[in-house]
Amino acid sequence: MEIRYAVHPGDFASYDTERIRKEFLIQDLFKPGKVNMVYSHNDRIIAGGLTTVKPVILEAGSELKADYFLQRREMGIINIGGKGMMTVDGIKYSLDNRDGLYIGMGSREIEFSGADSGNPARFYFNSATAHCRYPTQKIAISKVEAAHLGSLSESNKRAIYKYIHPEGVNSCQLVMGMTILEPGNVWN
């Protein structure tokens, strides 16, 4: 797990583009068969990802000072690849492309797996600290609230899909969504 430290505003003012990219840009999350994570001291958030080639169990790592990954954390996952499977404490959740999963604090065993090695699942996830438990829930893309914004004339026509938020799937602190650009648009 890569650790990113907080930055003082006075220091940030002196950063050039290369330094800003080094401190804030997250790259290479989707290496086959390996969970890749970045822990940011800003909000104590973890962003992670993996491309499935075989089942992978999520480990806490020494950085979390916890017996298991979600001992004091919660997690949101979105599958941006082929069909995948998440197993949480023995319960299996099938995730098609763009389906999500919220996993509540206290869940001990988390396994990522794919259904087709020719079209592997690619799981993107965020994890935040938590002080209470909400139930694990699958979030089908067909049930996700979407806000349609922008215009073709401004090249920013997009849909913002709201997976985990106060009016949808509840969490302790985590809010998570996904932006999908319409073809021919370049907003980021």
As for how many domains the chain has, the answer is 1
Task: Give this prediction's pTM.
Answer: 0.90
Q: What is the structure's pLDDT at 124?
A: 97
CA distance 37 to 49: 7
Q: Is residue 56, in this structure, part of any structural domain at all? A: yes
User: What tokens were used for 184?
Assistant: 């021919």
Q: What is the structure's pLDDT at 149?
A: 92
Q: Is residue 178, in this structure, part of any structural domain at all? A: no
In the chain, the amino acid numbered 66 is A
CA distance 123 to 21: 23
CA distance 177 to 42: 19
Q: What is the pLDDT along the chain (188 residues), one digit of tens a residue?
A: 878 788 888 888 999 999 999 888 888 889 888 899 998 877 788 999 999 989 999 999 888 899 999 999 999 999 999 999 999 999 999 999 999 999 999 999 999 999 888 999 999 999 999 999 999 999 999 999 999 999 988 889 999 999 999 999 999 999 999 999 988 888 75
Q: What is the structure's pLDDT at 66?
A: 92
The gap from C-alpha 74 to its chain's centroid, in whole angstroms, comes to 11
Q: What is the structure's pLDDT at 41?
A: 77
Closest CA to 72 of 112, 124, 128, 110: 128
Half-sphere exposure of 12 (CA within 13 A, CB side): 9
Q: What is the structure's pLDDT at 146?
A: 93
Closest CA to 104 of 94, 113, 91, 121: 91
Q: Is residue 94, in this structure, part of any structural domain at all? A: yes
CATH code of residue 30: 2.60.120.10
CA distance 42 to 26: 14
Determine the structural domain holding residue 88 and report its residue range: 2-142
Q: What is the structure's pLDDT at 165?
A: 95
Q: Is residue 155, in this structure, part of any structural domain at all? A: no
Q: Is residue 179, in this structure, part of any structural domain at all? A: no
Q: Is residue 156, in this structure, part of any structural domain at all? A: no
Place of tokens 């979600």: 70
